[in-house]
């Protein structure tokens, strides 16, 4: 017995209309609907965690509104060259930063290609006084709400 009537997506037709249309076409024969109800984002943080997270520990040592937070999420992917250029630009700027560089930022997600981008040799050591590169999950709501975070870069549109 199939009780699934369709799918609910955390997006909107304005943001991802073409993809929602494709999903709906794929499910038409099954009489399944696609609902876009988002984006649904938390409206506030009920409690900012003080747990021992490396990102928050690092932020606690920075002056107020001095840190650039860079996180492109899972919808944008960069070439090796683009990531290295961003790395070098951050280093040369001497601007304090947290850069969340996860697998979703590397490779071609549509081809199922995943690769580990290498930062320039010695990069993490050279920027350790002003920057933190995070390769895994980071507590984004807490980072955004932290008093040291001043600017956020979270998307680039070509």
Do 71 and 136 fall into the same domain? Answer: yes
Largest interatomic CA distance in the chain: 60
* Same domain as 23, residue 78: no
Average pLDDT, the chain: 80
Could you tell me if 107 and 80 are in contact, meaning their C-beta atoms sit under 8 angstroms apart? no
Splitting the chain (158 residues) into consecutive groups of 10 residues, what average pLDDT does each group show? 77 83 80 80 52 81 95 76 93 95 57 66 94 87 92 66
Residue 31, pLDDT score: 79
CATH number of 113's domain: 3.40.50.2000
Helices (H) and strands (E) in the chain, counts: 5, 6
The whole domain housing 108 covers 54-153
pLDDT of residue 47: 47
At 11-20, the pLDDT tens digits run 888 888 888 8
Residue 125 neighbours by CB under 8 Å, 6+ apart: none
User: Do 74 and 140 reside in the same domain of the chain?
Assistant: yes
Residues 69 and 103 reside in one and the same domain:
yes
Phi, psi of 8 (to 5 degrees): -105, 130
């Amino acid at each position: 017995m199939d009780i699934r009537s369709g799918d609910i997506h955390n997006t909107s037709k304005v943001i991802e209309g073409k993809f929602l249309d494709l999903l709906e076409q794929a499910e038409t024969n099954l009489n399944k609907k696609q609902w876009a109800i988002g984006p649904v984002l938390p409206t506030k943080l009920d409690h900012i965690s003080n747990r021992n997270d490396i990102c928050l520990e690092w932020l606690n040592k920075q002056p107020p509104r001095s840190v650039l937070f860079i996180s492109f999420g899972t919808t944008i992917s960069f070439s090796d060259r683009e990531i290295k250029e961003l790395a070098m630009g951050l280093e040369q700027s001497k601007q304090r930063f947290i850069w969340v560089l996860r697998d979703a930022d590397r490779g071609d997600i549509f081809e199922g290609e995943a690769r580990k981008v290498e930062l320039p040799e010695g990069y993490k050591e050279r920027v350790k006084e002003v920057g933190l590169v995070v390769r895994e999950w980071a507590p984004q709501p807490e980072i955004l709400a932290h008093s040291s975070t001043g600017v956020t870069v979270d998307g680039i549109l070509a």
